[in-house]
Each structure stands twice: as C-alpha cells, then as structure tokens.
Amino acid sequence: MNKMLAPGATIGILGGGQLGRMLSVAASRLGFKCHIFEPGAAPPAGHVAEKVVTAAYEDEAALRAFAEGVDVITYEFENIPTSALDLLESLRPIRPNRKALAVSQDRLVEKAFLNDLGLRTAPFAAVDDEIDLEEAIAEIGCPAILKTRRFGYDGKGQARLKSPEDAAQALADMAGAPSILEGFVEFSAEISVIAARGVSGEVACFDPGENVHKSGILHTTTVPARIPEALRTDAVLIAARILNALDYVGVMGVELFVSKAGLVVNEIAPRVHNSGHWTQAGCTVDQFEQHIRAVAGWPLGDGARYADVEMLNLIGADVEQLPELAKQPRTQIHLYGKAEAKPGRKMGHVNRVL
C-alpha cells in the first residue's frame, strides 16, 4: 500500500479524544471517512466521525470488525495493549508502525533508543526497587524525578525528589510499577518540533514552538520559539534522525530542552501533539492533516508557517472564560466537546494570531 489512499476510503483511529476528533475533521477535508475505536462512552471524536466503536481493547470481535471496516489504522495515543495491536496489524496496516509505539510506550526504552542515535537525553537509570533507587540517586543526584516507565502523561505517574530523603515516598507513589529515575536538565527553554514523515521517506517539520508548562500540563506554545537559527536547524535534524531510525510514517511530537550543551530530547510522542495545535492557525496544512496525509500515503503538505501564533490550552475551569474569548480579535477557538470541566482536563485551546 505505497500508493495514495483514494478519497472515500476509511481511516480507523484508535482513541476518541480531542486528538482523534481533530484528526477526523482533517481527514474529512481530504475526502476520507473515519471510524473511531474507543473504550469510553461518548468520545469527543464521535461527534465528527462516520462511526464509533465503543469496546474494550480486549474485545477481539470488536477489534476485528473495526479493522475490517477500515483501510488503514492510526492512533491518537500510545498506550494501546500489545494484544490489540497484534490482532489489528494482522488485518490492516498500522501507521505509525509498532516500533514507534514500542519505543515511546516505555520511557526507559525511549531514552536508550535516543542515546543509541547519538542524541542527548536527561541522565537516567532504571528503578525497580529500593536498591535500584539508591544507586540511581547516587549516580544522578538530586533533584531528580521518578517516573513510571509506562502509562504516564500530563505529569501523572511522577514524583519529584528534592533530596534523597524523598526516595521512600517517591517509590511508594509508583505503586510497584517499573520506573525510571531522571536527572533534571538545566534548560533555558522547552521547544517542540512537530515532524512528519511520509511513506516515501520524505520528512517535513513545522517550525519549532516554545512551550510553557503549568502544573505538569502544557500551558502555552508560541511560534516562533525564541532560539537561535542554528538551534532551529538542530531541532529539525534531531527530529529527522528519530523519524528515519523508526521508519516512521505520520506526525511525531518531539519535545526538546534548550540547554547550554545544546538540545536535549525530553520526550517523543508518536502522534499529533498538543504543542502542534498552533498549526491550525498558522499554516496552510495543519499537523492533523499532515498526519492523515502521511498515514494515507499522500505527499506531505505544505506546513510553512505564515503567522506568529500563541496556542493557549483551556484546562478545566479555564473554559469558563469562553464568553470573553469569543469576543477577542485574532483568536481561533477550539473546544473538544467534553461534557464536564474537571480540574486538569483539557477542554479546548485557543490559537492567537500575534
């Protein structure tokens, strides 16, 4: 399947959150239909998809029917059970491929992979028990951060160690899950590169954005990032090296720290990424359409940036600012259709053209 998927074809998306929702909308622009597979009821992506399958990842019959109803499968989050992927992959192509998922599902594997590519990461060590943690602290020092190797996002499954005395509590917070201790990187800024790779191996990157986090959740991304031109080039080269090494097809979010020693890779996400939402207001083709183009075997689109943009996340009660936001000029609102505004929940974002 190296040729262009024809309009009218159906793309299967694993996961029905806001990323799936915006992917489905982008797919419609290219004439595709989307089917969403999501265990949770009434997923945001379901409002703009041809079909929603509500089933568990353990439901083999549902997985099979889903796969048989689509032409290609992609995903909006990385924590998909291996057994589900095995079954789906036997029926339809999955893009990005399994290797990208395997690497990004496990922080330890991810960091080792990045180091093997010659890329800088924070210092790290595997931690499975008290002894590992003691040794890791001795090696890496404090402050440091203990994280579960798998299933963490938006600051969940993490514990900070200001000093070695915090070790016991941090380990308890992991609740026995295999973990990784990461040293802190001194950085002047955090940037993201949203990179895409097509089936023919061509790579295209959106202009790096500068991220600001609040309580472990992305707060704003601003383009252009305030970094020297040389680092902009470095960022793109790092992203390309990662994508090529994985024989990746689709969009990936690459988070980087700007340190005195150069760029340090913080994290990769094998999917469209919150820090790429600004592309909806600043580019002819946004990250969602770029991902669909790649997954569908189309040439990558033109993601050149033609505006300065600030993306601001609306978290929890932030969404109550809506009446004010709706009046503001140069402001593009994106809401995710979630019923309840819980604390820490991503309810939407706005793109401000600067």
Annotated binding site: 107, 147, 152-158, 182-185, 190, 213, 266-267
Q: Is 320 in the site for a second copy (CB under 8 A)?
A: no
Q: Please state whether 31 falls in left (phi above 0), alpha (psi between -120 and 50) or beta.
A: left
Binding part of the chain for a second copy, among 164-172, 226-234, 255-263, 333-341 by CB under 8 A, reads: 333-341
Q: How many residues bind a second copy (CB under 8 A)?
A: 48
Q: Does residue 21 interact with a second copy by CB under 8 A? A: yes
Q: Which amino acid is at 211?
A: N
Distances (CA, A) of 315 to 152, 192, 225, 341, 349: 18, 20, 23, 8, 8
User: Cβ–Cβ contacts within 10 Å for residue 111, how many?
Assistant: 24
- The reply to whether 322 sits near a second copy by the rule CB under 8 A is yes
Site string for a second copy, 257-296 (x = CB under 8 A): ------------------------x--xx-------x---
Minimum CB distance to a second copy smaller for 27 or for 268: 27
Beta carbons of 351 and 281 less than 8 angstroms apart: yes
Compute the C-alpha angle 156/157/161, nearest 5°: 110
Of 74 and 104, which has the nearer Cβ to a second copy? 74
User: Distance of CA 61 to CAs 6, 35, 66, 74, Å?
Assistant: 27, 16, 9, 19
Q: Write down how long the chain is.
A: 354
Site membership for a second copy, residue 333 (CB under 8 A): yes
Question: What part of residues 75-94 is at the interface with a second copy (CB under 8 A)?
Answer: none
State which of residues 247, 326, 344, 354 lies at the interface with a second copy (CB under 8 A): 326
Q: Report the nearest approach of a second copy to the CB of residue 308 (Å).
A: 11
* 7 touches a second copy by CB under 8 A: yes
Please state, in angstroms and rounded to a whole number, the distance separating the CA atoms of residues 340 and 47.
Answer: 16
> Residues 325-349, buried b or exposed e (16+ Cβ, 10 A)?
beeeeebbebebebeeeeeebbbbb
Give the span between the Cα atoms of 203 and 187, in whole angstroms: 27
**Contact with a second copy (CB under 8 A) among 39, 50, 164, 219:** 50
Q: Pick the binder of a second copy from 302, 317, 342, 354 (CB under 8 A).
A: 302
**Tokens coding 38:** 């999501």
* CB-nearer residue toward a second copy: 239 or 283: 283
Q: Please say which residue, 4 or 55, places its beta carbon nearer to a second copy.
A: 4
Which residues participate in the annotated binding site for ATP?
107, 147, 152-158, 182-185, 190, 213, 266-267
List the one residue from 98, 298, 308, 316 that touches a second copy (CB under 8 A). 298
50-78 CB burial, b ≥16 within 10 A, e <16: bebbbbebebeebbeebbebbbbbbbbeb
List residues bridging with 267 in a β-sheet: 255
306 near a second copy, judged by CB under 8 A: yes
**342/349 Cα distance (integer angstroms):** 15
The answer to the question of residue 37 lying near a second copy (CB under 8 A) is no
Question: Which one, 172 or 326, has the nearer CB to a second copy?
Answer: 326
For binding to a second copy (CB under 8 A), which residues are involved? 4, 7-8, 21, 24-25, 28-34, 46-50, 281, 284-285, 293, 298-299, 301-302, 304, 306-307, 319, 322-323, 326-337, 339, 348, 351, 353
